[in-house]
Amino acid sequence: MLYIGCHLSSSKGFLAMGKEAVKLGANTFQFFTRNPRGGAAKPIDEEDIKAYLEFAKENGIGTIVAHAPYVLNACAATEDIRNFAKETMADDLKRMEYLPGNLYNFHPGSHVKQGVDIGIEYIAEMLNEVLNKDMSTTVLLETMAGKGSEIGRSFEEIRAILDKVELKDKMGVCLDTCHVFDGGYDIVNDLDGVVKEFDDIIGLDKLKAIHINDSKNTLGSHKDRHEKIAEGNIGAEAIINVINHPAFRGLPMNLETPNELEGYAKEIAFLKSKYTLD
């Protein structure tokens, strides 16, 4: 079963997102837990969530993906910013329990000249403080393009973080096609090789979600500029191979392409028409 969707605005609540997703032909979606540039989250609306859960069940919406705000940087150079990251994630994870069993994805962070090792140390420290054994959410480290001092630019860096986390069963990975391509993983000419490398270094059992994006830049450019499907350097064929790769079967796949809703609907319809796995 293909679980395909896109990033949606959470400003109108969960039921509105669910309805929007179905209208677009999607059966999963992603949303920001709060303003991507930071700030307080809206209060939880239990009625809205109840209505959403009912709607999701009736309409076959699968696992959904919450995305932490971009400003969250667990390995910032100043303690204030690191503490803000911790508090934000802890609060987000508490709120996620209203939607049990879903995914919470975040960018590992930028080490801003402190070096990768110290960065990894801080990220693991945050996770060890905010994860708890009773939570039903799986927290995902997103694979990054390696722009600036971003951590998570290689499978080895992701693995190094996972190794330092105590509650390992609460952790997973979200693979972003634009990011790994910009990071130097050739998913165009050697998808099987990249999948094998992921399995050897991280383990495919850790892979819980995919971001489907084309890239404005070239292999290994470390840029992170998403492009519409088939209009970038990854291209339609490679993206179609990704959605049909047996290793990714059943994972929620969300578009984060530069589109309005109409464009997302077209891309979702296109990818559904190219899905051949089952």
Which residues are at the interface with Zn ion (CB under 5 A)?
224
Among positions 115-154, residues that touch Fe ion (CB under 5 A) are: 142
- CB closer to Zn ion out of 150 and 224: 224
Our finding on whether 227 is near Fe ion (CB under 5 A) is no
CA nearest to 116, candidates 148, 139, 88, 140: 148
Distance (Å, whole) CA 275 – CA 253: 12
Radius of gyration of the chain (CA): 18
C-alpha to C-alpha distances, 20 to 27, 36, 38, 118, 136, nearest whole angstrom:
10, 20, 24, 42, 25
Structure tokens at 138: 């799986």
- Which residue in 3, 256, 264, 267 is the catalytic one? 256
Say whether 185 is catalytic.
Answer: no
Structure tokens at 273: 């028409």
Q: Which 8-state DSSP code applies to residue 31?
A: E
**Region binding Fe ion by CB under 5 A among candidate stretches 58-66, 111-119, 151-159, 203-211:** 203-211
With CB under 5 to 8 Å by kind, the binding choice for 224 among Fe ion, Zn ion, none is Zn ion
- CB closer to Fe ion out of 111 and 211: 211
Say whether 176 is catalytic.
Answer: yes
Task: Return the ∠ at Cα 131 (arms to 129 and 134), rounded to 5°.
Answer: 130
We find the least distance from the C-beta atom of residue 50 to Zn ion, in angstroms, to be: 33
We find the least distance from the C-beta atom of residue 261 to Zn ion, in angstroms, to be: 19
Q: Which helix (H) or strand (E) holds 120?
A: helix 116-130
Say whether 211 is catalytic.
Answer: yes
- Which residue in 34, 95, 111, 179 is the catalytic one? 179
We find the least distance from the C-beta atom of residue 7 to Fe ion, in angstroms, to be: 9
We find the least distance from the C-beta atom of residue 277 to Zn ion, in angstroms, to be: 26
Among positions 169-198, residues that touch Fe ion (CB under 5 A) are: 176
We find the least distance from the C-beta atom of residue 271 to Fe ion, in angstroms, to be: 16
- CB closer to Zn ion out of 36 and 38: 36
Instruction: Quote the strand ranges of the chain, DSSP E.
Output: 3-8, 28-32, 65-67, 103-106, 109-110, 138-142, 150-151, 171-176, 207-212, 214-215, 226-227, 252-255
Say whether 226 is catalytic.
Answer: yes
We find the least distance from the C-beta atom of residue 67 to Fe ion, in angstroms, to be: 6
- Which residue in 20, 92, 150, 176 is the catalytic one? 176
- CB closer to Fe ion out of 142 and 227: 142
Q: Are the C-beta atoms of 107 and 152 separated by less than 8 Å?
A: yes
- Which residue in 95, 226, 227, 267 is the catalytic one? 226
Structure tokens at 114: 């402190």
Say whether 79 is catalytic.
Answer: no
For Fe ion, the binding residue among 211, 215, 240, 248 (CB under 5 A) is 211
CB closest to Zn ion, residue no? 224
User: What angle in degrees, to the nearest 10, is found between the helix axes of 155-164 and 116-130?
Assistant: 40
- CB closer to Fe ion out of 55 and 104: 104
Distance (Å, whole) CA 39 – CA 37: 7
Where in the sequence numbering do the catalytic residues fall? Answer: 37, 67, 70, 107, 142, 176, 179, 211, 224, 226, 256
